[in-house]
Chain A
C-alpha cells in the first residue's frame, strides 16, 4: 500500500490512483510535512471523488457536500481532523467553513483545492439560499485558500490581508505546481484567486443582522494573517493564528506571533475556531499550548545562537520538552527552528 493510501477506507483505495504522485514526485517532495499535507488532500479528494461516483449512481449529479458542524448558531466548520485522528501522519486538513447571516453567506477559507471548495459550496447550498457574498482568505497557505475558484460563479468579494497579493505573487506558483504535481487530476480546476478586497486594519462585513469583524494582523503565522470575530455569537475564528494539537508552523515571525498572541488572548470570546484542531475550542485557554511552544522555541533558539550552535543542529536542542505534545512534531519542528534561528540571529 502506498503512503497516500494509508488510513484510507479500503473501498476507496481503488480510486486513489487518480491522486497518486509518481515515485519521482514522492522523492522530489522530501519535506515529510508537505507530503503529509498533500496526503491529506489526496485522501480527502479521493473520498470526495468516490462520493461523487456514489452520488451519481444514486441519480444525483452534484458534488457531494463536505461534512460540517454547526458550532454556534449559523457558524459551520468542516473539521478534517477527526477522520485523521488515529493516523497522525495523515493529518493535514485545515478547518474551513462558512457563516450564514439574514442576507448573505461568508465563506471562511474555501479549502485546499477546487474539489474541496466545490464540496463546501454544496454544503452551503444544502443549508441556505442566501447569496455567497464573501469568501475570506485567511492567509496564503494552500490548504486554506486553494478552493477559491469554486466560488467564482457566485461573484463574491474575495477578502484578504493587504499583504496577501504580495505573498501570492511570491509563493502561489510554487504552491500550485506542488499541488498539481502531487494530486494530478484531482487538482484540476484549482487556480490562484487573488483577493478583490484588501484589509490593512479592520473590516466590518455585514451579512444581514450579523456583523463579522475582520482584523489584519502583523507578521505571525505568515505575514498576511486575518482573523474573524462574529459579534452575534462571540465566536473568534483565528484560522492558523491558533493551532491546537497539531504543531504550529512558523512562516511569518516568531516574535511577531508571540506579540499577536498577547493581543488576541486579551480579546474575550465565547469560543474560538483554530485553523487546525477541534472545530471549536475555549478561548483564550486553547492558546496556552501554542504560546508555550512558541516561547520554548524562542528561548532555546536564542540560547543556541548565543552558544554558537549552527543552524543545522540547533533544532536538536530546541524545545525538546514539546515533543509528545504535538502531532507532526518531527515533520515541522526542525523547519520551525530554522525559521526562528534566521529571525533571531538578527536580534
Chain B
C-alpha cells in the first residue's frame, strides 16, 4: 500500500489546520450545509475519488446523543449480519476533531465485524462517520451527530502517579461463551495516557508532548483479529470491545495484543482462552 491510513490521518489533520479554524470562542456554530461540506472534504482527503455509498441499515455508528464526558465518549460501530463477513476495514471519522480520522481497523478473516466498540474524545459538536470497506473494495458510510465539546484538550490523568506506574499494562476479559459456535467476545483495556498534545504547561509555556497509541495488533493463535491504526482521538486508557470466530470453533487458544506508541514504546501481553466447554 503506497499511502497508509495513518498518513492519510496526518494529511487530514494538516488539511484541517490549513482549511479550518479550530473551534474558537468567537466562531459561529457551523450550519448543516457547512457540516456536509466538511464531510465531503474529509471523504475526499481519506478516500479520494472512490465512491462512498450510504450504508442504510448495513452499518451503524452508535454514540450517546449527548456525551456526559467529552473525553470519554463510548462509540460502537455495528454491521449487519449480511455485510459483516465481507468487511475488511472500518474507519471512524470524527468530523470536527483536530485529527478527524480517529481509528482505522483492518480486520483479519477471523474477526467478527458485527460490533466493535471503543471510547473517543470529541472536541466539538460533530458528525461521526463510520465507513466499512468490503473485501471487494466497496465503501459504506453511516453517520451520527453528537453534542459534546472540549474532549480533546480536556485534562486527563486524574491520578498521574498511577498512570505512570500502569503505563502499557493491559487487561482482558472474556464474555461467557455458552455455545462453541458463538464468537469469542472480548473486552480489552489498555493503560496509556493517549495524550493529545493539546495541553499547554502554563508555567513552562511548552505543550505537553503528545503520546498516543499508533498501532494495536490483536491476534488469536497467530491469526490476525485486527490491526488498529489510531490517533489522539482515542480516550485515555483505551478500551476495545470486539469479537472473533476461531478457526477451531470452541477450541482453546491464546489472544495476544501488541502496541506501538508514538514514543516508539512497544507493549505486548497474552491471555489464554479456554475451550468453550470449560467456560
B199 touches A219 (CB 8 A): no
Interchain CA distance A252-B155 in the complex, whole Å: 12
Q: Mark A308-330, 1 if CB is under 8 A from B, else 0.
A: 10111001000000000000000
B208 touches A170 (CB 8 A): yes
A338 touches B72 (CB 8 A): yes
Is A14 on the interface with B (CB-CB < 8 A)?
Answer: no
Interchain CA distance A25-B125 in the complex, whole Å: 12
From A28, A167, A223, A338, contact of B25 by CB (8 A): A28
Please, which residues of chain A bring their CB within 8 A of the CB of B150? 28-31
Is B189 on the interface with A (CB-CB < 8 A)?
Answer: yes
B201 touches A169 (CB 8 A): yes
Please, which residues of chain A bring their CB within 8 A of the CB of B124? 28
A173 touches B201 (CB 8 A): yes
B119 touches A253 (CB 8 A): no
Is A27 on the interface with B (CB-CB < 8 A)?
Answer: yes
Is A246 on the interface with B (CB-CB < 8 A)?
Answer: no
Please, which residues of chain B bring their CB within 8 A of the CB of A338? 68-69, 72
Residues A24 and B159 in contact in the complex (CB < 8 Å), given A312-B74, A335-B68, A342-B72:
no
Q: Mark B124-148, 1 if CB is under 8 A from A, else 0.
A: 1100000000000000000000011
B158 touches A219 (CB 8 A): yes
A170 touches B202 (CB 8 A): no
Q: Mark B147-191, 1 if CB is under 8 A from A, else 0.
A: 111100111111111100010000100010000000000000101
A192 touches B69 (CB 8 A): no
A126 to chain B, nearest CB (A): 32
* Total contacting residues, chain B, CB less than 8 A: 47
Interchain CA distance A142-B72 in the complex, whole Å: 22
A172 touches B28 (CB 8 A): no
Interface centre among B68, B153, B203, B208 (most CB of A within 10 A): B68
Nearest to B28 among chain A residues (CB) is A24
Is A271 on the interface with B (CB-CB < 8 A)?
Answer: no
Interchain CA distance A125-B113 in the complex, whole Å: 68
Please, which residues of chain B bring their CB within 8 A of the CB of A165? 203
Please, which residues of chain A bring their CB within 8 A of the CB of B166? 346
A301 to chain B, nearest CB (A): 14
Please, which residues of chain A bring their CB within 8 A of the CB of B158? 219, 222-223, 251-253, 339, 343
Is B51 on the interface with A (CB-CB < 8 A)?
Answer: no
From B26, B154, B161, contact of A174 by CB (8 A): B154
Interchain CA distance A311-B119 in the complex, whole Å: 9
Is A334 on the interface with B (CB-CB < 8 A)?
Answer: yes
Nearest to A256 among chain B residues (CB) is B159
A173 touches B199 (CB 8 A): yes
Is B200 on the interface with A (CB-CB < 8 A)?
Answer: yes
Is B29 on the interface with A (CB-CB < 8 A)?
Answer: yes
Is B64 on the interface with A (CB-CB < 8 A)?
Answer: yes
Is B222 on the interface with A (CB-CB < 8 A)?
Answer: no
B166 to chain A, nearest CB (A): 8
Please, which residues of chain A bring their CB within 8 A of the CB of B117? 310
From A175, A194, A253, A312, contact of B159 by CB (8 A): A253
B16 to chain A, nearest CB (A): 18
Is A176 on the interface with B (CB-CB < 8 A)?
Answer: yes
Interface centre among B73, B158, B171 (most CB of A within 10 A): B158
Interchain CA distance A157-B135 in the complex, whole Å: 65
Please, which residues of chain A bring their CB within 8 A of the CB of B156? 170
Please, which residues of chain A bring their CB within 8 A of the CB of B202? 168-169, 172-173, 176, 191-192
Interchain CA distance A346-B150 in the complex, whole Å: 25
Is B228 on the interface with A (CB-CB < 8 A)?
Answer: no
Please, which residues of chain B bring their CB within 8 A of the CB of A74? none
B26 touches A22 (CB 8 A): yes
Is A70 on the interface with B (CB-CB < 8 A)?
Answer: no
Interchain CA distance A165-B202 in the complex, whole Å: 10
Is A171 on the interface with B (CB-CB < 8 A)?
Answer: yes
From B29, B72, B161, contact of A311 by CB (8 A): B72
Interchain CA distance A124-B204 in the complex, whole Å: 32
Is A210 on the interface with B (CB-CB < 8 A)?
Answer: no
Which chain A residues (30-44) contact chain B, with CB distance < 8 Å?
Answer: 30-31
Residues A223 and B72 in contact in the complex (CB < 8 Å), given A24-B29, A30-B147, A312-B64:
no
A20 to chain B, nearest CB (A): 12
Q: 13 extra interchain contacts, Cβ-Cβ under 8 A, other than A24-B25, A31-B70?
A: A21-B25, A25-B25, A170-B199, A173-B202, A181-B25, A192-B202, A192-B203, A223-B159, A252-B159, A253-B159, A310-B117, A312-B73, A346-B191
A-B contact pairs, 22 of them (CB 8 A): A24-B26, A24-B29, A28-B124, A28-B149, A30-B147, A31-B69, A31-B70, A169-B201, A169-B204, A170-B155, A170-B156, A170-B201, A171-B155, A191-B202, A219-B158, A219-B162, A222-B158, A223-B160, A310-B74, A311-B119, A334-B68, A338-B68
